[in-house]
Structure 1
Amino acid sequence: MRRHLVKRSRFSVKWFILSVTLLFFLVPRVGAGRVVDGIFLTVNGEGITFSEFREFVAGRLGISVGDADSYLRKIDSEEKLRPLLDDFINVTLVRVKLKELGESVSDEEVERVIDGIVRENNITREQFRKALEREGLTYEGYRERLREDMEKSRLVRALRGKEVLVTDDEVREYYVSNRDRFLVGYEATFDLLSVNLSQARDRVGPAALREVLARLEDAARKGEHVSSLAEMLKERGIQPEVSSMGPVAEGDLRGELKEAVGELRPGETSSSIVLGENLVFISLREKKGGRPLPFDEVKEKIREELVGKRSLAAVREIIKDLREKALIRVNL
């Protein structure tokens, strides 16, 4: 007899693991070990199939659906599953809420945004796909992450639109307090970590690589030096290169590297930067000289940054509220 576990807000991952295990062993299989699909999770009345979760995992890890199926079969602990499951529930809650509001993001809208990205970069769809592959992403995974970003943005506009607006006075105040983030003509000394994505992917596989890169991003946000990030990679059998650079004149820096160094303060570490086949992190040691750009040249960039920060905070608050009120059912 089918049992039901009903619980407000978070539900036990152990129950989820049990439900997946039962699906693997009790449901008849088809072909090469594939699970016959069925509803295993209901969020606010919205039925979620196992294949939907499997496709979500494939996109998150940048692997095929078949590899995601194998990956899920090998999960042996709550710790490994929880981040994926939490993300999946959050995405589902946002999607269900947008559906209630009549504000769902359509496939056509997502494709139009991708068309715009392709045009702006003057490349073909095929070149775009290959560029994603070099970064360890699948086109399908990228498209779903883009959809999620669009959904979060739309939800914020619908529920907290006025709260994320930024006044001219707030923009100017930020500029005055952070002039050192808008310098030109400076010299910078920094440490740079570089890892070849293709070699790393061949070494540990796409799923493990995505997992370790997520850990690196988290460590960088916390301000850990690139030497610590390098040790994390070495623990997984990936050999990065770490080098000291500088002093380097601001005018000799290019593209995203220049932007990242310009925004850093001494002791801070950048988020990841893709340079060709390599993924790069920077820890700034020193920045000398330079002058701040005029306010009028950076005010819109500042406004965009502040709106982005407020929108991110609003999304977190909305999702927290949705989770507290959610009715989640796991079908065993």
Structure 2
Amino acid sequence: MGRIGTQCGSRRIAQAIVILSYFFFQSVAFGEELIDRVVAEVNGEPITYSEVQEKVRKKVLVEVSPYPATKDDDEFTIALQDSINLKLILQKAEELDLEISDEELEIEIDKFIKRRNLTRDSLRQALAQEGMTYEQYRRDWRKQMLISQFQGREILPSVKITDKDVEIYYLQQTGASGESIKLTLRQLFIRIPSSGPDSVKKGKEEIVDRVYSELKDGLDFSKAVRVYSDSESGRENGGKMPPVLLKDLAPVFRQAIEGLDEKQFTAPVKVGPGAYFFYLEKKEFAGNDEFRKVKGQLGQRLRQEQIGDQTMKWIENQRRRSEIKIID
């Protein structure tokens, strides 16, 4: 018990020393003036005003996530929340024994220099123009590499990208659904006469309402076609239509069908000589030359977006489990 108490006491003393080391006092005529201060603590580790202010000065407010800050918050608040989230990730990286050797760091910097057709001297000159030293640059690189290692260990295992995901992403980005979606549909047609006794017309409309009600109650669509359809060929094959592109449907039918998921059916579409029901049996991506050219690039972009989303979820969960104190 004494040993455990000694260890806990030593840890608290060490944390206190770390926090105090972030303070710097300058003697002036009227006494001691504090020129830096702790603005937050994350599981006992400090974040200083100067750290956050440096992010604001460099206009690098967000490195991982500003959560829970919003775009309406001031720059300092956004930078502070991002610093807290970054601290959580770096703490986890340390817990996982992740580290970047000097050799690994220099290799990555060399790759960057070659890609940009730079030299070490030109890089140092560019950094100097931005008010940054090479050592500061190395620290930033090391930090970003640690974030990548953390994501590789903690985040990537939960990111799964399928071909279907990439297809959907392409359609969302381009709005090309009508040109690229192939549908397999079943159709149920009920003829409603435009002339003749009103009682006949009313009877047909009642059948339309009954069919819709029974479909919603779970009646199999193919069975409904065989029982109620006024199309002889439809009754024979369960109303199955040849595959068709969404863009080739009549606008009134396209509007009713395009929002369906597989195994769903439309409400009755009353047009021309009667009422039509459609059942979406299969929806598939027809593909095109443009998609095939950009598929790999889209997959990478989607992967990065999902990594970002999963990292955000990790941060939200980690913040709930951590001791975070913001000091006014």
Give the shorter-chain TM-score range: 0.3 to 0.5
TM-score by length of 2: 0.44
Greater strand percent: which structure? 1
TM-score (norm 1): 0.43
Larger relative contact order (C-alpha < 8 A, sep ≥ 6)? 1
